[in-house]
């Protein structure tokens, strides 16, 4: 952790500018919290109107302090806040946390004040947190430079969880929900407007606290993906799961985010791809973060997804089976021996196959769980276990069930979770450290998340070689023409359709013979990137004569459109078994983003595509293709052969590498359609459009 971040999370001394005697005021709470939660450093209240604050000597100003504090908490608002920050910067304070609102989130004027204040702080070498933030809290050291009321509502306890959030409200909510589940929380940090330090940088610092075993983030925008990627890589290295909420998924959500913390919009499917690429698990809200926390902290890292369901309710077995299918957790096929042994321990009307229904007989025979579980523990077919007790109470020996389940977990070392909505039933399991949920949806959702996230964290990505930057043809226009675009791809080894660029009807007639009819004849001009909308694509041209005639027509039409007449392409007419597409573009935040999926003219309407961030391998593309709705077609249906997804994947990698090798040169590459043949037949690009970066044009 950098020294500067250290000064914020583990300060030796903290000044509170705008300190209050009243612990229910924002200026009073941090001092109260630090003293209550064992802060061992020095606290300097600054309040010129008082001699003493909460029993501590109060100072008139920063200048009056006996030392320069590591951290200053700026409680005062408006112009006073700006003056205080300037004063801190001038005196060598290392970190300042600015609580006041009314800056970047409040319009252009506030943005300007925020920008200037931040620039001055940076120039002086001081890090800034906020403004418009609830502040920082480290319960490991008691350094609490924040005012959340939640620390009064729910008593803190140090523990293995770090929360870093743009929103103070969401950091408090995550904290409260986690503590409500009995889990200890060390870090609760909010970054607000992120004028200087953002979630990504603070996450980097928290990830380096060896006591932290689970890192929860809340973001409204990802401003510095490279920092977050670095944090995620370090976290994977030390097996630290990161579970993130990224709000502003929708257009209206992004608008709301912009008026909340002045966030800029991220394209949501690129956010998904970014998290996926870096092994960060994305969930909807802090509730989902809290829900899965205990299962992560158990240290479970399941090797597979095969599930065993045990319940005392037949209906729960039915719904458990439904949920297992919904979450992609196949019911483990138990061995004949296991089933025999389970059957021997259950009444005759019970079900010994998975899901295992021990039935309401559990009421009269409390030993049923204890009898069945050890048998299951010995069967290697299962990776995950789910015990569902939707009904119990007086007469049921719940303590015994919980003890048996805990013994099972200790013996098998495999994940086992429980669903029990009655607190009296859940409590004994919780007391023995078994993660317990309200219903099968929650329980199996968490198991599925754990299995998927574990697999994701173990993915390794081989960096792409440093490719030579491609040379683009000279020109000023936004687009390369089709012939140039195809040539650029062909130079990367991408298979493109046989074609010729013709400048006369004679050349077109010759070309028809050369490419082998029937052919496609299409005008080629960088000024007309979308040819078919102008009637400039003719399919199924079945004679050289027709090709010549079409040349003339299209040549004239280009002139009518006032477009540069760069030629007419005569190309072999090739049909694959399916039209796919590959696209790549430079996202302003995430850099190269590659899209692969169902192609043809309805790409936008049908949206059956997967998004990948580099570096990715052909295997990653193939895994992504399996998530598409057209996946069954790619695998071969109705007696059709499987398609050549290897060839398609190779094209996606080549297109991605081409774009990545051309920063500042290529803005986007659109390859659609890619005609994909049967396995072994390859895939062929029949149309392409390369867009130059704006930088190159100017």
At residue 182, the 3 state secondary structure works out as coil
Shortest CB 632 distance to its own copies, Å: 4
Shortest CB 440 distance to its own copies, Å: 7
Chain centroid offset of residue 594 CA:
16
The residues facing 215 across adjacent strands are 162, 242
Between 308 and 660, CB nearer to its own copies:
308
Between 101 and 481, CB nearer to its own copies:
101
DSSP string of 597-661? EE-STTHHHH--EEEE-SS--HHHHHHHHTTSTTHHHHH--TTPPPB-HHHHHHHHHHHHHHHHT
Sheet with 242-246, edge to edge strand ranges: 143-146, 135-138, 185-190, 161-165, 214-219, 242-246, 281-283
Measured from the Cβ of residue 504, the count of other Cβ atoms closer than 10 Å reads 14
* Residues whose CB falls within 8 Å of the CB of residue 270, separated by 6 or more in sequence, listed in order: 587, 589, 590, 593, 611, 613
Alpha carbons 260 and 193: distance in angstroms, whole number: 9
Between 252 and 698, CB nearer to its own copies:
252
Alpha carbons 294 and 507: distance in angstroms, whole number: 71
Which tokens is 698 given?
């100017």
Q: Measuring CA to CA, which residue among 687, 622, 686, 693 is closest to residue 661?
A: 693
Which tokens is 156 given?
């803190």
Between 516 and 632, CB nearer to its own copies:
632
Count of residues for the chain? 698
Alpha carbons 259 and 499: distance in angstroms, whole number: 52
Q: Measuring CA to CA, which residue among 487, 572, 474, 559 is closest to residue 523?
A: 559
Shortest CB 20 distance to its own copies, Å: 13
Provide the H-helix boundaries in 460-543: 482-491, 505-515
Alpha carbons 673 and 551: distance in angstroms, whole number: 23
Between 297 and 323, CB nearer to its own copies:
323
Between 99 and 280, CB nearer to its own copies:
99
Between 29 and 276, CB nearer to its own copies:
29
């Amino acid at each position: 952790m950098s020294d500067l971040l250290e000064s914020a999370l583990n300060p030796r001394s903290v000044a509170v500018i705008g300190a209050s005697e009243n612990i229910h005021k924002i200026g009073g709470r941090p001092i109260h919290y630090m003293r209550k939660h064992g802060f061992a450093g020095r606290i300097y209240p600054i309040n010129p109107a008082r001699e003493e604050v909460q029993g501590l000597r109060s100072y008139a100003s920063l200048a009056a302090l006996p030392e320069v504090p590591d951290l200053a908490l700026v409680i005062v608002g408006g112009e006073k806040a700006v003056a205080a920050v300037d004063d801190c910067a001038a005196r060598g304070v290392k970190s300042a946390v600015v609580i006041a609102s009314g800056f970047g989130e409040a319009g252009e004027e506030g943005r300007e004040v925020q920008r200037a204040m931040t620039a001055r702080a940076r120039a002086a070498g001081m890090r800034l947190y906020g403004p418009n933030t609830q502040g920082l809290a480290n319960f490991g050291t008691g350094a609490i430079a924040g005012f959340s009321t939640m620390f009064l509502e729910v008593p803190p306890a140090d523990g293995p969880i770090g929360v870093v959030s743009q929103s103070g409200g969401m950091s408090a909510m995550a904290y409260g929900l986690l503590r409500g589940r009995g889990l200890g929380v060390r870090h609760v940090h909010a970054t607000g407007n992120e004028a200087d330090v953002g979630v990504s940088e603070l996450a980097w610092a928290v990830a380096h606290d060896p006591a932290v075993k689970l890192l929860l983030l809340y973001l409204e925008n990802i401003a510095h993906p490279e920092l977050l990627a670095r944090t995620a890589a370090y976290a994977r290295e030390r097996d630290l799961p990161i579970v993130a909420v990224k709000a502003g998924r929708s257009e209206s959500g992004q608008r709301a985010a912009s008026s909340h913390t002045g966030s800029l919009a991220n394209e949501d499917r690129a956010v998904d791809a970014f998290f996926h690429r870096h092994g960060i698990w994305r969930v909807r809200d802090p509730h989902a973060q809290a829900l899965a926390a205990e299962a992560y902290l158990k240290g479970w890292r399941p090797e597979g997804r095969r599930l065993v369901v045990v319940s005392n309710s037949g209906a729960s077995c039915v719904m458990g089976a439904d949920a297992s299918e919904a979450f992609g957790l196949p019911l483990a096929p138990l061995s004949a021996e296991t089933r025999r042994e389970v059957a021997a321990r259950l009444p005759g009307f019970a079900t010994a196959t998975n899901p295992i229904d021990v039935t309401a007989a559990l009421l009269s025979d409390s030993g049923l769980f204890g009898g069945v579980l050890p048998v299951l523990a010995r069967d290697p077919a299962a990776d995950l276990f789910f015990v569902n007790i939707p009904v119990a109470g007086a007469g049921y020996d719940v303590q015994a069930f919980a003890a048996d389940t805990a013994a099972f977990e200790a013996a098998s070392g495999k994940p086992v979770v429980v669903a029990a909505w009655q607190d009296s039933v859940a409590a004994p399991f919780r007391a023995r450290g078994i993660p317990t949920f309200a219903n099968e949806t929650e329980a199996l959702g968490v198991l599925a998340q754990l299995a998927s996230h574990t697999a994701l964290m173990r993915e390794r990505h081989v960096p792409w070689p440093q490719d030579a930057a491609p040379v683009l043809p000279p020109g000023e226009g936004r687009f390369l023409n089709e012939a140039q675009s195809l040539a650029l791809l062909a130079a990367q080894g991408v298979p493109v359709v046989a074609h010729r660029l013709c400048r006369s009807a004679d050349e077109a007639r010759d070309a028809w013979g050369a490419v082998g009819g029937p052919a496609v004849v299409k005008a080629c001009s960088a000024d007309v990137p979308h040819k078919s909308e102008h009637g400039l694509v003719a399919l199924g041209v079945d004679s050289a004569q027709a090709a010549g005639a079409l040349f003339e027509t299209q040549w004239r039409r280009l002139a009518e459109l006032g477009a540069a007449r760069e030629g007419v392409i005569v190309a072999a007419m090739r049909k694959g078994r399916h039209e796919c597409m590959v696209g790549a573009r430079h996202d302003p935040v995430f850099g190269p983003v590659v899209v692969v999926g169902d192609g043809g003219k309805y790409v936008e309407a049908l949206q059956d595509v997967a998004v990948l961030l580099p570096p990715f391998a052909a295997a990653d593309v193939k895994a992504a293709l399996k998530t598409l709705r057209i996946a069954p077609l790619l695998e071969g249906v109705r007696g059709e052969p499987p398609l050549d997804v290897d060839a398609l994947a190779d094209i996606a990698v080549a297109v991605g590498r081409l774009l990545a090798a051309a920063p500042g040169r290529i803005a986007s590459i659109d390859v659609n359609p890619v005609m994909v043949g049967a396995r072994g037949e390859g895939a062929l690009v029949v149309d392409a459009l390369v867009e130059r970066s704006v930088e190159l044009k100017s």
